[in-house]
Amino acid sequence: MTAHEIDYRIYGEEMQYVEIELDPQEVVVAESGSFMMMDDGIQMETIFGDGSQNDKGFLGKILGAGKRILTGESLFMTAFYNGAIGKRNVSFASPYPGKIIPIDLTEYGEKFVCQKDAFLCAAKGVNIGIEFSKKIGRGLFGGEGFIMQKLEGDGMAFVHAGGTMAKKVLQPGEVMRVDTGCIVGFTQNVDYDIEFVGGIKNTIFGGEGLYFAKLEGPGTVYIQSLPFSRLAGRVLASAPRAGGSDRGEGSILGGLGDFLDGDNRF
């Protein structure tokens, strides 16, 4: 193996974190801001680029950092190194409620494609790169744009999904249609494209967008029930406008709305 071989344990139900057990000299690389806690003896270092062992020299690091900019991530990642004699633990948490998915890249042909903000952490040696879409429709209307993340190597990687996660194993020729924002990731053999919803009523009044994501097997697909974009949209829609409540708390209609909603503050 070229990647470090790490052990792990995932804790929690809806607000999960993953605990990585590092042997002496082992390293795990994580997305900035995902660190939770670590044992004494773990050393932390900010690194330039994606942290893979394939980035040799200054030019390689520049290219790795450039790939991360294209996916909307920071130029830097954080490496956690066990410099102690015995085993030590370091933990990382999801940025919002959901599930942490362990991905053993050796089971998926050493490549896994995921949405741009799904990556959490990985063993040292896993390459975090970019996957360009070669289909115009997918790039324009697929919800993920022309660029997704790809994880390559023979080690363990961890991605996070919002809400509850569903794992679907597609047989050759089997097709699944998914909301474009609900895709977490899929294996390299899955054919990913977009499909028009169709129908005037569905298009105008359906409220589900104009396009589905069409996934065709063979391969494995991970689906999330609560994309962060959907959660953020509901929070913003429920937030009061500047200057007071949307219904107007001082009005009769505002009070009636609060009464019907169960917000009885008289």
**Which of 126, 120, 122 shows the shortest CA–CA distance to 93?**
120
3-class DSSP state for residue 182? helix
**pTM, full prediction:** 0.75
Q: How buried is 139 (Cβ within 10 angstroms: 0-12 exposed, 13-18 middle, 19+ buried)?
A: middle
How far, CA to CA in Å, does 205 sit from each of 143, 211, 213, 232?
20, 14, 19, 22
In-domain check, residue 255:
no
In-domain check, residue 74:
yes
Q: What is the structure's pLDDT at 128?
A: 84
Question: Looking at 71-85, 171-185, 200-214, which range is the least confident one?
Answer: 200-214
In-domain check, residue 256:
no
Q: Is the pLDDT of residue 44 over 70?
A: yes
In-domain check, residue 98:
yes
- Check which CATH number belongs to the domain holding 221 and give it: 3.60.160.10
In-domain check, residue 246:
no
Cα–Cα distance, 177 to 200 (Å, whole number)? 19
In-domain check, residue 254:
no
3-class DSSP state for residue 97? coil
**Percentage of residues of the chain with pLDDT beyond 90:** 33
Rounded (10°) CA dihedral 138, 144, 145, 151:
-100
**Which of 84, 80, 92 shows the shortest CA–CA distance to 27?**
80
In-domain check, residue 216:
yes
Q: Is the pLDDT of residue 53 over 80?
A: no
Q: Is the pLDDT of residue 58 over 60?
A: no
Range of the domain at 48: 7-235
In-domain check, residue 73:
yes
Neighbour tally for 242: CB within 10 Å: 5
Token digits of residue 81: 């190194």
In which band, very low, low, confident or very high, does the pLDDT at 8 lie, cut at 50, 70 and 90? very high
Total count of domains within the chain: 1
